[in-house]
Amino acid sequence: MKLVKNENDKNKENISDKEAQEAFVKILKWIGEDPSREGLLETPKRVMKAFKEYFKGYHEDPKVVLDKTFGDVEGYSDMVVQKNISVQSHCEHHMAPIIGIAHVAYIPNQRVVGLSKIARVVEVFSKRLQTQERLTVQIANTLMESLDAKGVAVTIDSTHQCMTMRGIKKEQATTVTNFYLGQFKDDLSFQNRYLRFIAK
């Protein structure tokens, strides 16, 4: 995966791994723990490494993922639907996990992309602090633009732990977002077919 530099990186403070670990030591103290006890000695380092994994999407470019497409599809022009793509993200308001699934469809314009690349685009945007609404739109816009698709549809169904583990604590609540572009937005027959596919 190609690492990309955000245009705003030059304005960001360069925080070292050591500084990040020290920050987690302070958080452990703040919650009332003793960072020097045996079970927590390696915790700041482990959390720092985990955060690198949780938020690796900031260092990946979803458009690069979609660079390679294939034209040898015997004229296939109907929608391509990929269902049940796992979503593991974090909300930007409480940094609590967002866990769910995404369904993605696109209508190719002569060329298609490898199926794993669709899931990879979902992964890149998920591994950032997010709102579900923005995540849904980002995935759709990137696929539409990068593939020059005739249409794109994205649905995300997820549980927000900022709502199930704190605050209102509604454990069974789920959130569904949909976003349509191109033929999926303009032609309800495409939208309805897509919704039937993902309901199966």
Statement to judge: residues 92 and 187 lie in one domain: yes
CA distance 152 to 66: 14
The answer to whether position 59 is within a domain reads no
The answer to whether position 2 is within a domain reads no
What pLDDT is attached to residue 6?
52
Residue 200 pLDDT grade (very low, low, confident, very high; cuts 50, 70, 90): confident
CA distance 59 to 115: 22
What kind and span of H or E run contains 151?
A: strand 151-160
What kind and span of H or E run contains 22?
A: helix 17-30
Res. 7: pLDDT tops 90: no
Neighbours of 64 (CB within 10 A): 15
**Mean per-residue pLDDT, 14-22:** 96
- Max distance between CA atoms of the chain, in angstroms, equals 64
The answer to whether position 172 is within a domain reads yes
Task: Give the pTM.
Answer: 0.91
What pLDDT is attached to residue 13?
79
Statement to judge: residues 46 and 72 lie in one domain: no
Res. 2: pLDDT tops 60: no
**Number of folded domains in the chain?**
2
Res. 39: pLDDT tops 90: yes
Statement to judge: residues 127 and 169 lie in one domain: yes
Q: What is the pLDDT of residues 127-180, one digit of tens each?
A: 999 999 999 999 999 999 999 999 999 999 999 999 999 999 999 999 999 999
Q: List the structure tokens of 177.
A: 């977002």
Statement to judge: residues 21 and 74 lie in one domain: no
**Can you give the residue range of the structural domain that contains 86?**
66-199
What pLDDT is attached to residue 196?
97
The answer to whether position 185 is within a domain reads yes
Would you say 90 and 127 are in contact if contact means Cβ atoms under 8 Å apart?
no
What pLDDT is attached to residue 11?
52
CA distance 172 to 178: 20
Q: List the structure tokens of 51.
A: 């955060």
Statement to judge: residues 25 and 88 lie in one domain: no
89 beta partners: 98
Q: What is the pLDDT of residues 57-115, one digit of tens each?
A: 999 999 999 999 999 889 899 999 999 999 999 999 999 999 999 999 999 999 999 99
Least confident of 68-72, 121-125, 146-150, 191-195: 68-72
| CATH number of the domain within which 38 lies | 1.10.286.10
Would you say 83 and 122 are in contact if contact means Cβ atoms under 8 Å apart?
no
Statement to judge: residues 89 and 169 lie in one domain: yes
CA distance 108 to 143: 10
The answer to whether position 61 is within a domain reads no
Residues taking part in catalysis: 91-94, 132, 160, 162
Residue 3 pLDDT grade (very low, low, confident, very high; cuts 50, 70, 90): very low
Statement to judge: residues 173 and 140 lie in one domain: yes
What kind and span of H or E run contains 81?
A: strand 80-91
Statement to judge: residues 31 and 129 lie in one domain: no
The answer to whether position 3 is within a domain reads no
| CATH number of the domain within which 99 lies | 3.30.1130.10
**DSSP 3-state of 84:** strand
The answer to whether position 1 is within a domain reads no
Statement to judge: residues 124 and 42 lie in one domain: no
